[in-house]
Chain A
Amino acid sequence: MRMNLPLLVAGVALLAALPAVLPGGLLIASIQMLVAALFASAYGMLSGRAGMLSFGHAAYFGMGAFATVHAMNAFGGSGLLPTPLMPLVGAAAGLAIGVVAGWFATQRSGTTFAMITLAIAELLHALAPQLKGLFGGESGISTMRAPSLGLSFGSTTQVYYLTLVWVLLSIALLYFHTHTPAGRLTLALRENGHRLRFLGYNVHGLGVSAFAISAMFSGLAGGLQALSNEAANYAVFDAGVSATVVLNSYIGGVGSFLGPALGAALMTFFGYAVSDATQSWLLYQGVLFVLVMMFAPTGLSGLFGTGVRLVEQRGWRPAVFSALLVGGAAVLLTAGGVFAVELLQRLCSQDYRALAQAAAELPAVTLLGRPWSPTSVSTWMLPASLLACGTVLVFVARRRFGSAA
């Protein structure tokens, strides 16, 4: 990815200015988005650049979180490790565990490697509740950010800036790593490890180093989350956390450097915003995964690349037109689909069925603040027409621009 300096500076400035413009709730979401972006970048480095698909990255994230929490309790904000430097403990823990786990895991490749990482994470997840001293049982270990260097670290804004500095620094370091010889060699690892061995390189050592660096930054991300939440709980080792980072990375697109970060930020925001709005949000998330995997396999950053190619091939007007078509189709299909799902969810719920049995005719359901009667045609015509229009737009877009995609 070409580094566009003015764009980069503008992006950093925007991120730095967020606490001034965002309401409190969204600022908290931003901290989580930053942590997820760092975790995904670290993961993307391993899976996208080194080609090693790991299913148990939550282990390193979680160990980083627990190490940081123990350090916060032990140091109390002063001395060798003031509060702002706490994530270093998380990084160190991630690195240590990463070296050990990576040494075993990178001896194999492909599916076996993935299964080994999964086994390590699941083993840790199963053992953690038993080891109360280390992992604190199911209520986890709690701590408090100590004031340090003149700042109290009590307000969300200060935590946001701390997280922002660390995330930017880590992503910069990861980017720097890609330009070092070791970073280039990890690309070679993905392309043809066999040949690399014949060229005389220590492939196993290279694999371990890539794994360890990825685990180190994952541990740092875990430390940041522990700093923000002031607690660590063994639920962080759950397979769902590992799966989430894989999904975030691939939705953003592992082909580009910032793709995973973008995907993670978007999906974290999606979860945060939509989970309060509807209880079927996991269904929408699943549909989003499937659609991205099927129709945008290079991820959202890949979509961006497709757009650029379209502009180069056909010019600005057709590209904008196709973007509008696809965007419009997406909006219509989403609206129709969401309406239908929400309607079905209310109609099939136990409470509604009980009310329906009691009443003479099927009562109306409330959606978007209005009552909709399930027996009237208009209630079903709305989602049907939205879906139909959306499908038509998709066909039109495919016919006109299918070749560039």
Chain B
Amino acid sequence: MIAVRALHAAIPLLALLAAAAQAAPVKIGVLETLSGPQASTGQAYRAAVRYAIDKLNASGGWNGQPVQLLEYDNQGGPAGASDKLKAAAADGVQIVVQGGSSAIGGQITEDVRKHNLRNPGKEIVYINVGAEALELTGEKCNFHHFRFAGNAQVRTKVLVQAMKQAGALGSKVYAINQNYSWGQDMERAIVDNAGAGGYQVVEKTLHDVNKIQDFAPYIAKISASGADTVITGNWSNDLLLMMKASKAAGLKVRFGTVFLDQVGNIANAGEQAAGHFVAQAFNAEAAGPEGDRFMADYKAKSGHLPVATEPQTVFGLEMVADALKRTKPVNDALDVNALARALETTRLKTPMGEASMRASDHQVLLPLVVSVVTKDAKYKADDTELGFKPVKVFTAEEAAVPAQASCKMQRPS
């Protein structure tokens, strides 16, 4: 009995000794919606993160050890995300990656801020690869949050400029968006760019998110307003149903979108998607041989070509990898504040141009491309005949929009 008790006491001691003997590997947690109705977006982010981490480990990991990737399913909502973030913190995760939803992103950035306040020395950094609501680099900006995706302002700016240059932007624009932070940001951006684009916003509409099956009434409104262009930030069903309804009604408008390149949209919309514009974060055709190499490598490792949000995720994590390399271990472990400081100055040469992190609000400045849906694109979408052909590539400086005044970042001393 005493021997058993001694053994019971000895085991944790041995474990502690063993842990002290080897360095702590860096743990990266991807916290996404991996099941339920929005699973398709979350799984795409996870695939891209897996690819990027494998690449990092192939080039040596960090401090001589491979980086560990842990996956957490936030079960579809901010409450689940909050729980899993705490679980990740308990598991020793120091870098949390998420991109699927601005609502969940808002929850995570606040939870990370509170965790870091309460646990100095055991901070977590939040790598945002897709939540594009402006408030995350505005009122909610936070030293330990880094956004590696665009936002409504930059996407609209490049969309308007490219469409105007291609002669596809009319003089009467209809803004239709979803009634939540992203959609409201888009609406504001569309109005802000009216001067630069030389158009007049004839009407603005905000509708319920993912609840509307029948967009015919909205198409009727668009038709009645006399608009010749529709700019929208809608995604998934809201975009698809709207385009189908507009085709059914024979409405002759040009669509300028942000999410037309999501998987399944072109397959479903078919011919009626041709001629419409999308502001993308990456288009391999605009990236030359580097882009082709990236596409081929990604397809070989994960089974499909990187689309929509996957390229920006990969590049974001490559920037994190670059910052990791420049962060020296402290007591054989990762000092997250040092990583964050390295992240603020990180630069990466992506296939489409140089991307860099802006230290004032932790928004990445990345090159963007505006493409049009057409038959003579190099890479076809969704196994159809249509693909996205680049119309204009914008460098990071051209696409950038100044930091918001509402961001008052508190830095650790």
Complex contact flag A–B (Cβ < 8 Å): yes
Decide if B39 is an interface residue (CB 8 Å cutoff).
yes
- CB-based closest 8 A-B pairs: A24-B90, A351-B303, A139-B106, A154-B118, A25-B87, A275-B73, A138-B103, A235-B77
Q: A235-B77, A235-B103, A275-B73 are in contact. List 20 more A-B contacts (CB 8 A).
A: A24-B90, A25-B91, A137-B180, A138-B103, A138-B181, A139-B78, A139-B106, A139-B133, A140-B107, A154-B118, A156-B86, A156-B90, A230-B111, A231-B111, A276-B84, A279-B35, A279-B43, A352-B303, A354-B303, A354-B304
Known contacts A139-B107, A279-B43; is A235 also within 8 Å of B180 by CB? Answer: no
Query: What is the chain B residue whose CB lies nearest that of A235?
Result: B77
Q: Give chain B interface residues in 246-300, CB to chain A under 8 Å.
A: 299
| Cα-based distance from A363 to B82 in the complex (angstroms) | 38
CB < 8 Å: which of A24, A229, A236 contacts B91? A24
Decide if B179 is an interface residue (CB 8 Å cutoff).
yes
Interface size for B (C-beta < 8 A) is 42
Q: Give chain B interface residues in 21-72, CB to chain A under 8 Å.
A: 34-36, 39, 43, 47, 71-72
Cross-chain contact A139 with B86 (CB below 8 angstroms): no
Give the distance to chain A from B158, nearest Cβ to Cβ, in Å: 25
Interface pairs (7), CB distance under 8 Å: A29-B83, A139-B78, A139-B106, A140-B78, A140-B106, A230-B82, A240-B76
Question: Which of the listed residues B35, B89, B102, B114 has the most CB atoms from chain A within 10 Å of its own CB?
Answer: B35
Cross-chain contact B114 with A144 (CB below 8 angstroms): yes
Cross-chain contact B106 with A129 (CB below 8 angstroms): no
CB < 8 Å: which of B72, B90, B107 contacts A27? B90
Q: Is the interface of A mostly helix, strand, loop or mixed?
A: helix
Residue positions of B touching A, CB distance < 8 A? 34-36, 39, 43, 47, 71-73, 75-79, 82-84, 86-87, 89-91, 102-103, 106-107, 110-111, 114, 118-119, 133, 135, 179-181, 208-209, 299, 302-304
Decide if A347 is an interface residue (CB 8 Å cutoff).
no
| Cα-based distance from A164 to B68 in the complex (angstroms) | 34
The range of chain A's interface size is: 35 or more
Decide if A282 is an interface residue (CB 8 Å cutoff).
yes
Known contacts A138-B103, A233-B107, A276-B72; is A28 also within 8 Å of B86 by CB? Answer: yes
Against B, the Cβ 8 Å flags (1 = close, 0 = not) of A212-242 are: 0000000000000100011101011010100
Give the chain B neighbours of A275 by CB distance below 8 A.
34-35, 73, 75
Decide if A32 is an interface residue (CB 8 Å cutoff).
yes
CB < 8 Å: which of A23, A27, A236, A282 contacts B79? A236
Give the chain A neighbours of B103 by CB distance below 8 A.
138-140, 233, 235
Cross-chain contact B77 with A233 (CB below 8 angstroms): yes
Q: Give chain A interface residues in 10-37, CB to chain B under 8 Å.
A: 23-25, 27-29, 32
Cross-chain contact B77 with A231 (CB below 8 angstroms): no
Cross-chain contact B78 with A233 (CB below 8 angstroms): yes
| Cα-based distance from A27 to B133 in the complex (angstroms) | 32
Known contacts A156-B86, A282-B35, A352-B303; is A231 also within 8 Å of B107 by CB? Answer: yes
Decide if A271 is an interface residue (CB 8 Å cutoff).
yes
Give the chain B neighbours of A372 by CB distance below 8 A.
none
| Cα-based distance from A24 to B78 in the complex (angstroms) | 20
Give the chain B neighbours of A240 by CB distance below 8 A.
76
Give the chain A neighbours of B179 by CB distance below 8 A.
129-130
Give the chain A neighbours of B106 by CB distance below 8 A.
138-140
Give the distance to chain A from B207, nearest Cβ to Cβ, in Å: 12
Cross-chain contact B79 with A233 (CB below 8 angstroms): yes
Cross-chain contact B90 with A139 (CB below 8 angstroms): no
Give the distance to chain A from B29, nearest Cβ to Cβ, in Å: 10
| Cα-based distance from A23 to B15 in the complex (angstroms) | 15
Query: What is the chain B residue whose CB lies nearest that of A152?
Result: B118
Give the chain A neighbours of B302 by CB distance below 8 A.
351
Q: Give chain A interface residues in 245-301, CB to chain B under 8 Å.
A: 271-272, 275-276, 279-282
Decide if A350 is an interface residue (CB 8 Å cutoff).
yes
Give the distance to chain A from B185, nearest Cβ to Cβ, in Å: 12
Decide if A182 is an interface residue (CB 8 Å cutoff).
no
| Cα-based distance from A55 to B334 in the complex (angstroms) | 49
Cross-chain contact B75 with A271 (CB below 8 angstroms): yes
Give the distance to chain B from A72, nearest Cβ to Cβ, in Å: 12
Residue positions of A touching B, CB distance < 8 A? 23-25, 27-29, 32, 126, 129-130, 137-140, 142, 144, 152, 154-156, 225, 229-231, 233, 235-236, 238, 240, 271-272, 275-276, 279-282, 350-352, 354-355
Give the chain A neighbours of B118 by CB distance below 8 A.
152, 154-155
Query: What is the chain B residue whose CB lies nearest that of A350?
Result: B304
Query: What is the chain B residue whose CB lies nearest that of A155?
Result: B118
Give the distance to chain B from A289, nearest Cβ to Cβ, in Å: 16
Give the distance to chain A from B68, nearest Cβ to Cβ, in Å: 14
Give the distance to chain B from A212, nearest Cβ to Cβ, in Å: 25
Query: What is the chain B residue whose CB lies nearest that of A240?
Result: B76
Give the distance to chain B from A256, nearest Cβ to Cβ, in Å: 28
Cross-chain contact A350 with B303 (CB below 8 angstroms): yes
CB < 8 Å: which of A152, A231, A238, A279 contacts B34? A279
Known contacts A138-B181, A139-B106, A279-B43; is A29 also within 8 Å of B35 by CB? Answer: no
Query: What is the chain A residue whose CB lies nearest that of B263?
Result: A350
Give the chain B neighbours of A156 by CB distance below 8 A.
86, 90
Query: What is the chain B residue whose CB lies nearest that of A277?
Result: B73
Cross-chain contact A28 with B83 (CB below 8 angstroms): yes
Give the chain A neighbours of B102 by CB distance below 8 A.
138-139
Query: What is the chain B residue whose CB lies nearest that of A352?
Result: B303
Query: What is the chain A residue whose CB lies nearest that of B135?
Result: A139
Give the chain B neighbours of A126 by CB distance below 8 A.
208
Give the chain A neighbours of B303 by CB distance below 8 A.
350-352, 354-355
Give the distance to chain A from B323, nearest Cβ to Cβ, in Å: 27
Give the distance to chain A from B51, nearest Cβ to Cβ, in Å: 12
Query: What is the chain A residue whose CB lies nearest that of B206?
Result: A130
Give the chain A neighbours of B39 by CB distance below 8 A.
279
Give the distance to chain A from B299, nearest Cβ to Cβ, in Å: 8
Query: What is the chain A residue whose CB lies nearest that of B183?
Result: A138
Give the chain A neighbours of B43 by CB distance below 8 A.
279
Known contacts A138-B102, A140-B107; is A28 also within 8 Å of B180 by CB? Answer: no
Cross-chain contact A28 with B90 (CB below 8 angstroms): yes
Cross-chain contact A281 with B304 (CB below 8 angstroms): no
Question: Which of the listed residues A154, A238, A279, A354 has the most CB atoms from chain B within 10 Å of its own CB?
Answer: A279
| Cα-based distance from A352 to B47 in the complex (angstroms) | 13
Give the chain A neighbours of B209 by CB distance below 8 A.
129, 138
Cross-chain contact A282 with B36 (CB below 8 angstroms): yes
Give the chain B neighbours of A351 by CB distance below 8 A.
47, 302-304
Cross-chain contact B82 with A229 (CB below 8 angstroms): yes
Query: What is the chain A residue whose CB lies nearest that of B90?
Result: A24
Cross-chain contact B87 with A24 (CB below 8 angstroms): yes
Query: What is the chain B residue whose CB lies nearest that of A145?
Result: B114
Give the distance to chain B from A119, nearest Cβ to Cβ, in Å: 16
Cross-chain contact B77 with A229 (CB below 8 angstroms): no
Query: What is the chain B residue whose CB lies nearest that of A226?
Result: B79
Query: What is the chain A residue whose CB lies nearest that of B119?
Result: A154
Query: What is the chain B residue whose CB lies nearest that of A32?
Result: B83
Question: Which of the listed residues B78, B82, B106 has the most CB atoms from chain A within 10 Å of its own CB?
Answer: B78
Give the chain A neighbours of B86 by CB distance below 8 A.
24-25, 28, 156
